[in-house]
Amino acid sequence: MAKLLEMPKLSPTMTEGQLTVWHKKEGDSVAVDDLLAEVETDKATMEFRSFDKGTLLKLLVPPDSLVQLGQPVAIIGEQGEDISKLVPTGGAAAPKQSGAAKNGEATEAQTAAASRPSAPPKATPDAPQPPTANATPNATGTGTATATPTPTATPTANAEGSMPSPDGRVRASPYVRKVARERSIDLSGVAGSGPHGRIVAHDLERAPALPSGRALATHAEADDVRPLSMMRKTIARRLTESKQTVPHFYLTIDVDAAPIARLREQINEDLAAGAPRSANGDAPAPLKVSVNDLLIKACAIALVRVPQCNASFTPEALVFHRRVDISVAVAVPDGLLTPVVRQADRKSVVTIAQEVRDLAARAKAKKLRPEEMSDGTFSISNLGMFGIDAFAAVINPPEGAILAVGKIRAEAVVWEGAVVAGQRLAMTLSCDHRVVDGAVGAKFLAELRSLVERPTQMLVL
């Protein structure tokens, strides 16, 4: 019995996904847990694996399609099975539109003759600019010949049906697109009055100021317009939500970083000296610990000491977490991700260092699982390696605070009445004032300062 395969929920917050590539094609046999496709969710590129076995009878969406949760993407069943009843005729996500077309293809024009609304128009491909060729009416040459021009390729079955697109794509008639090209009109600002918001010629008449006021730059100076990736959409949505709904306040400390820098050097020397050797005597690349790894550990301990800072605000209650799971912001090629180091308070610095290396590498490869990026209780963002002295970070909801770490600065300090060479480190705590008050934040930073300036505490806790 053939069945529709629907877009599964591949991350806890996913509402839609970009199906980027199919790993099976129509006619391929599929076993349970076979990789069907890759889907870019709001969190990562996920593997879409089969829960069924059978033959992949039909792919309902092409690669690089934005697909809603639960929308059918393929049909699986027995080889040669009749799937005509399952193939969506009017666009699966627009069931109201499909009624007119369901009685067979011949009825489309018949409904026109019977003065009822015609079937929905075919969806246009995703390309924002249709080709410019053939704009002139004289492109034919068949006017006097008795030969009939050869029709071009027939549309695919799933090209039928049209729905309002949640991806912000502009729907406009071909004529409107031509006029927009000729007059350099930006259609994204024009409200469409046609079906599904289609911009039709009439809508351009109602926006007479457009050609001069909103003219785009000439082609040579045209902006590089890149469609939003899923990750960029998520960053935009979550950080806007954070800045607009979370009342941020900021506390900054400037600490003596010489002790932690010294400790790091010592740990790394010891790790190199004591690195275990394999049976054939080859030394594996020794693990190194970074200042950031030490700060993760320091924060974890400070959070244990000041649990009011390891908290989340909810409309009903304040939630104080018993676990210390620290999100670490990792820059990736087209955005950033925040993998979580779980129970950092109970892990050694070396274990933390190993985990962060692994998480960061997989974040850059977009291979993190959603659960590895969710449910942190506190965040650390470190821009020291980019030369930033100090900055303030945006809270990663529902966490209650985030620590922004700058670089270790070599500068003159006063030590026992004398000016000496010193190392300083500025850190800014952004707090959600609904759950973390100023005094609580200050208390946390005092503990953190104590841990950073006397870092052997980390070893004895």
Partner 1 sequence: MPSIRYREALKQAMSEEMTRDERVFLLGEEVGHYQGAYKVSEGMLDKFGPKRVIDAPIAEAGFAGLGIGAAMVGLRPIIEFMTWNFSAVAFDQILCNAAKIRQMSGGQFTVPIVFRAPNGSAAQVGSQHSHAMEHFYAQIPGLKIIAPATPADAKGLLKTAIRDDNPVLCFESETLYSVKGEVPEDTEFLVPMGQANIARPGKDVTVIAWSRIVNVALDAAAKLEKEGIDVEVIDLRSLRPLDTDTLLTSVAKTHRAVVAGEGWPYGGVGAEIVDRIQRLAFDELDAPIERVQTMDVPMPYNAKLEQLVIPQAAGIMDAVKRSLYRA
Q: Would you please indicate which residues are annotated as catalytic (active-site) residues?
A: 433
Residue closer to partner 1 by CB (options 146, 280) is 146
Closest Cα to residue 179, out of 127, 130, 122? 130
Residue closer to partner 1 by CB (options 139, 460) is 139
Closest Cα to residue 262, out of 229, 293, 291? 291
Q: Could you tell me the smallest distance in angstroms from the CB atom of residue 136 to partner 1?
A: 8
Q: Could you tell me the smallest distance in angstroms from the CB atom of residue 97 to partner 1?
A: 13
Residue closer to partner 1 by CB (options 142, 245) is 142
Residue closer to partner 1 by CB (options 181, 369) is 181
Residue closer to partner 1 by CB (options 114, 285) is 114
Contact 98, 117 (CB under 8 A): no
- The Cα–Cα gap between 79 and 77 comes to 7
- The Cα–Cα gap between 238 and 186 comes to 28
Site residues, partner 1 (CB under 8 A): 105-110, 112-115, 117-118, 121, 130, 132, 134-135, 137-140, 142-149, 151-152, 173-178, 193-195, 200-202
Q: How is 230-278 classified by DSSP, letter by letter?
A: HHHHHHHHHHHHHHHHS-EEEEEEEEE-HHHHHHHHHHHHHHHHT----
- The Cα–Cα gap between 165 and 220 comes to 30
3-state class (DSSP) for residue 414: strand
Q: Could you tell me the smallest distance in angstroms from the CB atom of residue 88 to partner 1?
A: 20
- The Cα–Cα gap between 445 and 447 comes to 5
Q: Could you tell me the smallest distance in angstroms from the CB atom of residue 68 to partner 1?
A: 25
Residue closer to partner 1 by CB (options 115, 212) is 115
Closest Cα to residue 449, out of 256, 259, 278? 256
- The Cα–Cα gap between 75 and 57 comes to 5
Contact 326, 380 (CB under 8 A): yes
Contact 122, 155 (CB under 8 A): yes
Q: How is 398-413 classified by DSSP, letter by letter?
A: T-SEEEEEEEEEEEEE
Distances (CA, A) of 377 to 303, 321, 428: 10, 7, 17
Instruction: Kindly tell me the burial class for residue 327, based on how many C-beta atoms sit within 10 Å of its own C-beta (0-12, 13-18, 19 or more).
Output: buried
3-state class (DSSP) for residue 354: helix
Alpha-carbon Rg for the chain in angstroms: 30
Residue closer to partner 1 by CB (options 114, 418) is 114
Residue closer to partner 1 by CB (options 59, 170) is 170
Task: Give one word for 366, left, alpha or beta, with left for phi > 0 and alpha for psi -120 to 50.
Answer: left
Per-residue tokens: 338: 């925040």
Q: Could you tell me the smallest distance in angstroms from the CB atom of residue 124 to partner 1?
A: 10
Q: Could you tell me the smallest distance in angstroms from the CB atom of residue 164 to partner 1?
A: 16
Q: Could you tell me the smallest distance in angstroms from the CB atom of residue 152 to partner 1?
A: 6
Q: Could you tell me the smallest distance in angstroms from the CB atom of residue 161 to partner 1?
A: 13
Q: How is 60-77 classified by DSSP, letter by letter?
A: -S-TTEEEETT-EEEEEE
